[in-house]
Structure 1
Amino acid sequence: MQTHSSAPDALFPDSLLIEVAWEVCNQVGGIYTVIRSKVPATMPAWGGRYCLLGPYFPQQAQGEFEAYDEEQLAGMNDPYAQAVRTLRSQGMDICIGVWLVTGRPRAVLINPFQVYDRLATLKSDLWRDHQIPAPDNDDLLHQVIAFGHLAQQFIETVARQTVDQWKVIAHFHEWMTGVAIPELRRRQVPAHLLFTTHATLLGRYLAMNDPNFYDNLMLVDWRAQARHFNIEPAVSMERAAAHGSHVFTTVSELTVRECIYLLDRIPDAVLPNGLNIERFVALHEFQNLHKLYKDKIHEFVMAHFFQSYSFDLDQTIYLFTSGRYEYHNKGFDLTLEALARLNHRLQQSGLEGQVVMFFITKRPYTSINPLVLQSRAQLEEVRQTCRAIEEQVGERLFYAAAASHDHRLPDLDSMVDDYWKLRYRRGLQSWKTSQLPSVITHNLVNDQDDDILNFVRRANLINHRHDRVKIVYHPDFVSTTSPLFGMDYGQFVRGCHLGVFPSYYEPWGYTPLECVARGVPAVTSDLSGFGDYVQKNVPDHEEKGIFVVRRQERSFDQAAEELTEMLWNFVLLNRRERITQRNRVESSADIFDWKNLRVYYDRAYALALERQ
């Protein structure tokens, strides 16, 4: 490791940076994307002075973490390796290695279960020293408390062993790691502490349960509400981290208000989230990818719908929404209302074409719907039959053309054997049905109480032939192992025409940003951090294919009408206009590249170094 980084954009050359997150080598939710995607922009500035710290869960880590062996560790003399050796000599189960992502950063993982025999003491210390309560029956809280204690020991060891050579910056993400902060302050550890809340825990619960969340924010009694939702220990940890850090940050201007009223501290800085934007040398390259993956979506749509009735795929627009299943918070309710209005408007208009809307989220299910799978298999059988006929006719046609003196096309029907004619006919007869295409692709554990299904039933938006907006509800993540799509989520996004994410509560919102990064237009809302950032920092954002539904201080009906209008205008675009729009989206993606957004983190670290 270089003691003083010589990288051209090296920052704070006398400092070490430890970034602490529950999702280091442990994919759970959105923080994983934040941390992982930021690494390639962080490494050039920090190099070997940068280290990630997280809990060690072998099942999660095995595919993306490569630990140093004893011999490698023995030969290393940097502060992180020295701290690991010290703690191992004291009996700690701790490992150091490389996170196998772009940038290959150093990572230290600590097994939280090793101190479970001391949980009672750790919990009583938390209450005595920081008034943080901890119940006996919550395993996630137990893991958090155990990891917080161990993380505090690691950071303290690094800081005390290097106190004359390095300044230590420790940056904690979310309440699950923030429990270490108050103890580091109590022990007066010489480290500069930052805490980032990506979404206040209480805010998420309140938004899901209060339609007037933003109006009532300043009236909230945090402790009473935390007890009501049974999350007082976690909220207490979040508040302790916010108040104990030298620099407190959040991810958007929207969450600043939440922090003020629910955590009682004004954030020192806003750190917007970015992505590691993959640039294409030629514009046609990502257009080719769009066509490639759109064709795969065509395959799914043919298997799902053409069994009952067909429509022109060349005049079909693919929309989608995705994310955690929070019906109100994620704006699924608003999206469905706008789709019902769009369906009516299209039916009245006489325009040609169809809209297929995909809902990609995660719900408990028992299995994929067998009829959906069977239809896919039967269509594949029809495809194989068509290929066999094509091959047979091709060979016979070529022979007939070479041998013939007649320039007219011969009777192709006579070139197909009776066997293949029969197989073709039987294949289609067994596949075709008079039943409507299913709205949902899986059998849910409890479909009677599912809000999406209940809406489409009430609105009678259940994939009738005359419906111009068709719904496909896929209650599982899209992956290459899925028998329905056979591609990963990023590829699916590329194949669609528009992402729709009009969230009611979204501290940042990666889903529209992931669309933009792949050259796909997206709808967001002014109640999402991303949408708020776009409104303030991206001039002519609609020209660049980023549409912001206004939901602040507006009724549900007004927002639904605005979203309907946006979707209607999008459907009216011709193919050339959509290609031009995708080009504009792709060219504007640089705005959200971590290389440009990292500066917000740099300023926060500079502020932390000023405070002790």
Structure 2
Amino acid sequence: MPKKSRSTGLFPKALLLEVAWEVCNQVGGIYTVIRSKAPAMTDRANGPFCMVGPFLNKNILAELEPLDDSQDVFGQTAAVLRKRGYDVQYAEWLITGKPRVVLLNPNAIEDKALEVVKYLLWKNHGVNSDNASPLINQVIGFSYLTKLFIDEVVKLRGDQPIIAHFHEWMAALPILDIRRDNLPVKTVFTTHATQLGRHLAINSPFFYAHLPFFNHQDESKKFGVVTEEAIEFRAAQMCDVMTTVSEVTARECKHLLKRKPDAIVPNGLNIQRFEALHEFQNLHVQHKEDIHQFVMGHFFQSYTFDLDKTIYLFTSGRFEYKNKGFDLTLEALWHLNERLKREKADVTVVMFFVTKRDYYSIKPEALQSRAMMEEIRQTCEAIQKQVGKELFYASTTRPDHRLPELNDFVSDYWKLRYRRTIQSWKTNKLPLVVTHKLKEEDHDEILSFLVRRNLMNRAEDKVKIVYHPDFITSTSPLFGMDYSQFVRGCHLGIFPSYYEPWG
């Protein structure tokens, strides 16, 4: 089959860097944006292309194919930084498109060096980061390393133009020094949602109507996001090209960042993934069965319901209780539960909340139930094998053609093991509404709503809740499937975002 030609017509001939905090680091929706657009970027880039992100979790190494000996411009640059003592990974990210990525470890920077970087940030750009949170310190460290990386790329590039695309304030700091040092790098800054917009939308009922009247400096002090807002504001002012993802956010940029975006670039969908409807339907059935396995392990030890009459709903994303519409979704689910109970409907709705929260660990009860389910499966398969063997033998030796009593083919050992396994699995406790032990469980808004409205996965409830405060991955011990597979297995996603619903 001939190799597909690269569609480079719309891309300038240049070395292209795409920098984001969520390259190989899932925090929210931008991770999905970066990951899903990778195939198009690798196909259409008209020159060397590389993503740059933070190296924060060693588990990501399972998704990387190292390129330590590569002699391309990015490999040489990574080698230079390693010689200077920095922790740098250069690899192919094993996702569709296999983009090359450079991951920089901000935690490897010594405290004294970081304080110097923060001082220069204030001296040169007026960004105050005193008493910064650990996250902001990481962001500053990552940005410092990214600027060092770009400096080396400039030295090694030859005569190739360089375009550097930065997503969100967490990656945008290098724009300031690129402009100050007059480097031959054209910068693009994309804001998917403004920092102040997120906070104002939660606290101002008439946010969009009042947008022209907010003072960005006053509001940043009010909400305690002075450093974040200052970085975002200066990046917007100093980049060569600024883009955002919708008309709504463009209005925010105009009033809060004092710059009208040069282009609005909506996040897109790869519709080719959904063109083969029969394949899409087959995958839905396949991954729905995987979700069935989780639901059986999570609920059936307490009580059962008909999986053929069960609807799976989900919502996901960054934990912003009001902005993401979690409050509205929960209220609607409570009303739905009351109506289904009143009408004695024979349908069950299982709603998954998938978001990222600080937690200690997965709850032991959830893991134990999953393990017991696997033991029950193994026991059933052993009995099935024993019965099949004995049945085949009986079918060839019996004088009549009647089906024998199958229970007679099961040995006493397997009968006893089956009973004990089932007995130890069953419980009178209610199924968990949250799968993990949260660090601030008493102050969690989703849990507070569920307790207040008594939506606690009782047997009589027609709406069941599974609150999973971590992103779903193939290594998740509870699901064992990728997020995209989980989405395919569900029937409907619910995203009633108040703030930036097109983000």
Aligned mates of 2:289, 2:66 — CA distance in 1: 37
Which segment drifts farther, 147-156 or 429-438? 147-156
2:93 to 83, 95, 100: 100
Q: Distance in 1 between matches of 2:176 and 2:475?
A: 44
The Cα offsets for residues 137-164 of structure 1, whole Å up to 9 and x where unpaired, read as 444444444554554465466568879x
Q: CA RMSD in A?
A: 3.5
Equivalents in 2 of 1:97, 1:427: separation in Å?
A: 48
Q: In 1, distance between residues paired with 2:328 and 2:137? A: 38
Map 1:184-583 onto structure 2 (within 5 A): 184-274=178-268, 279=273, 283-505=277-499, 507=500, 528-529=501-502
Contact 1:116 1:146 in 2 (8 A): no
Alignment check: 8 A CA contact 1:25 1:60 kept: no
Letter in 1 for 2:18: E
What corresponds to 1:513 in structure 2? none
**1:115 and 1:276, CA in 2 relative to 1: closer, same or farther beyond 3 A?**
farther
1:364–1:212 CA distance, 2 compared to 1 (3 A):
same
Q: What's the CA shift for 1:7? A: 5.0
Q: CA deviation at 1:278?
A: 6.5
**CA distance, structure 1, for counterparts of residue 157 and residue 469 of structure 2:** 50
Residues 226-271 of structure 1 deviation map (CA, whole Å, 9 limit, x = unaligned): 1122221221111111011222111222211221221111111112
Shift of 1:317: 1.2
Q: What is the DSSP-based 3-state SS (H/G/I as helix, E as strand, rest coil) of the residue aligned with 1:357?
A: strand
Deviation at 1:272, TM superposition (A): 1.8
TM-score, normalisation: structure 1 = 0.71
Deviations 1:79-134 (A, max 9, x none): x678779x769968596844334444455555655586455554444334432222
User: Counterparts of 1:295 and 1:478 in 2: how far apart (Å)?
Assistant: 16
Residue 180 of structure 1 corresponds to which residue in structure 2? 174
CA distance in 2, matches of 1:94, 1:428: 50
Where 1:346 maps in the other structure, the secondary structure is helix
Q: Could you report, residue by residue, the CA deviation over 1:496-537 in whole angstroms, capped at 9, with x for unpaired residues?
A: 2112221222x4xxxxxxxxxxxxxxxxxxxx015xxxxxxx
| Paired letter, 2:456 | I
Amino acid at match of 1:127: W
The aligned residue for residue 134 of structure 1 is 129
Q: Distance in 2 between matches of 1:96 and 1:418?
A: 57
Which whole-Å CA distance do the structure 2 matches of 1:373 and 1:162 have between them? 51
Q: Is the 8 A contact 2:362 2:437 kept in 1?
A: yes
8 Å CA contact 1:19, 1:170 repeated in 2: yes
1:222 deviates by 1.4
CA distance in 1 between partners of 2:142 and 2:181 (Å): 17
User: Where do 5+ consecutive residues of structure 2 fail to align?
Assistant: none
Q: 1:16 and 2:9 equivalent?
A: no
1:65-87 deviations in whole A, cap 9, x for unaligned?
63443xx53xx5x6x678779x7
Q: CA deviation at 1:197?
A: 1.0
State the partner residue of 1:36. 35
- 1:135 deviation in Å? 0.9
User: Structure 1 pair 439/416, CA: closer, same or farther in 2 (3 Å)?
Assistant: same
- 3-state DSSP class of the match of 1:48? coil
Q: Measured at CA, do residues 58 and 283 of structure 1 come closer, stay the same or move farther in structure 2, by a change above 3 Å? A: closer
Indicate conservation of the 8 Å contact 2:202/2:322, yes or no: yes
* Residues 341 and 313 of structure 1, relative CA distance in 2, 3 Å threshold: same
Q: Distance in 2 between matches of 1:161 and 1:433?
A: 65
Equivalences, count = 496
Report how far residue 179 of structure 1 moved. 2.2
- Give distance in 1, aligned partners of 2:58 and 2:31: 16
Find the residue that maps to 1:473 and give its secondary structure: strand
Q: Which amino acid aligns with 2:93?
A: L
Work out the CA distance in 2 between the residues paired with 1:320 and 1:286.
18
Question: CA contact under 8 A between 2:244 and 2:265: conserved in structure 1?
Answer: yes
Code of the aligned partner of 2:396: A
- Residue 11 and residue 154 in structure 1: after superposition, are their counterparts in 2 closer, same or farther (change >3 A)? farther
Q: In the TM superposition, what is the alpha-carbon distance from 1:28 to its structure 2 partner?
A: 4.2
Give a deviation string over 1:150-185, Cα, whole Å, max 9, x none.
54465466568879x444333222213322323333
Check whether the contact 2:16–2:47 (CA below 8 A) recurs between aligned residues: no
Q: Using a 3 Å threshold, how does the CA distance of structure 1 residues 251 and 440 change in structure 2: closer, same or farther?
A: same
Secondary structure (helix, strand or coil) at the match of 1:301 reads helix
The alpha-carbon deviation at position 16 of structure 1 amounts to 3.4
